[in-house]
Amino acid sequence: MIPITKPTLPSFESIKEEIKELFSTGMVTNHKYVAQLECAIQAHLGVKHAIAVSSCTSGLMLVMKALELKGNVIVPSFTFSASGHAIVWNGLTPKFVEIDPTTQLLDLRSVREAIDEETSAIMAVHMFGCPAPVQELQGIAKEHNLKLIFDAAHAMGAKLNSTYVGGFGDAEVFSCSPTKLFVTGEGGIVTTNNDELARKIRIGRVYGDPGDYNCEFPGLSARMGEFNALLGLKSLEILEENIERRNDLAQAYKQQLQNIPGIGFQKILPELRSTFKDFSITINPKVFGMDRDQLSEELLKEGIQTKKYFYPPLHEQKAYSQLKEIYQNKLPVTQEVSRAVLSLPLYSHMTTEEVELICSKIIETTNK
């Protein structure tokens, strides 16, 4: 079986002495290595604050709580469930909008059209590690006095020109789970250049307690463990190498699949660097000869795992059934893309031979 992804981890030998130290001291959460990781990420991304939390989801929840949002938050429906869940957990209403069919990123016109008197924020997503239109979104947010949050779960190391994502909007929130390039086991990183927002998130990850047991607001238990931070420090050392490797593998996929009728790719503008957290193709069944689901089944028979990222889109999920009628037939691009996208195996230590094998199996299906 070729899995959809595997974490690329440092050797045990490189961390065993630090692990022994953790066992000997008993300081296993939110201590020395967490602080070191935060400083290292601040330096790497060129941001003022990096706050380590238990997950990207808890980070998103804390950012919205700290910003004291009200009403609705504009968000794409084509995204992972955590984007919407964090909004709902804060007692806010997700306002789902369209994506651009070529970039699969938030559609700017749809964002503008969705803003109303109840809108307090925009949440954009760096889809598959490709940066959203950050500058345009910052302009819209400023024009309408809205907060701007980036779900950067896929995007640690992504760039706009020479600038890393991490310092755009009010805050960006990264995931460090095993499916990502930057791995802490489980965990998340919130980055911001806003001092007060950073302060609130730091206490928010400890129940909202500033240190005197008199909680300022209802926070979470969302600290990162020292084992996770130690893994993150080692993962950060190989991040650039892993991004370059994934870009090479993505290019290998494209070269072998680009001439197959009915297969398309996410458009990545030349000024952007994607991390390629996922490599996803789109299938036009009328041209390709079978639909996305059929191709997925054929590849699984050959021992190749794929994922239908992201299907169903949020507005069609059971968790958002109360909004189903509102969005019935209102997001045609999202519905079309979500039914066409198939993510192929990709991990940083994957071989070119594995890519060639997968592509050969896809080509074989077209000849059946």
pLDDT single digits (tens) 229-254: 999 999 999 999 999 999 999 999 99
Are 341 and 309 a contacting pair, CB within 8 Å?
yes
Q: What is the mean pLDDT of the chain?
A: 97
Q: From residue 132, how far is each of 106, 306, 326 by CA, in Å? A: 7, 24, 26
Sign of the torsion formed by the C-alpha atoms of 76, 272, 128 and 63:
negative
- Residue 93 phi/psi, 5-degree rounding, is -105, 125
Beta bridge partners, 172, equal 150, 191
Checking if the pLDDT of 103 tops 80, the result is yes
In one-letter notation, the amino acid at residue 77 is S
Note the pLDDT of residue 342.
98
Distance CA(217)–CA(226), nearest Å, equals 25
Percent of the chain with pLDDT over 70: 100
pLDDT attached to residue 65: 98
pLDDT of residue 367: 80
What number is the average pLDDT over the span 85-106? 98
Start-end of H helices in the chain: 16-25, 32-45, 56-66, 81-89, 108-114, 134-143, 195-204, 226-237, 239-257, 285-288, 292-301, 332-338, 352-366
Beta bridge partners of 124: 150
Total-model pTM = 0.97
Has residue 366 got a pLDDT over 90? Answer: no
**Where are the alpha helices (H) located in 26-179, listed in sequence order?**
32-45, 56-66, 81-89, 108-114, 134-143
Residue-range domain boundaries for the chain: 12-97+104-237, 239-366
The pLDDT of 341-357, averaged and rounded, is: 97
Q: Is 337 helix (H, G, I), strand (E, B) or coil?
A: helix
Q: What top-level class would CATH report for the domain 12-97+104-237?
A: alpha beta
Summarize the confidence of residues 305-312 as an average pLDDT: 97
Which fold does the domain 239-366 belong to in CATH? Aspartate Aminotransferase, domain 1 (3.90.1150)
The pLDDT value recorded for residue 184 is 97
Phi-psi category of 91—alpha, beta or left, where left has phi over 0 and alpha has psi -120 to 50? left
Lowest mean pLDDT of 9-13, 126-130, 294-298, 364-368, name the range.
Answer: 364-368
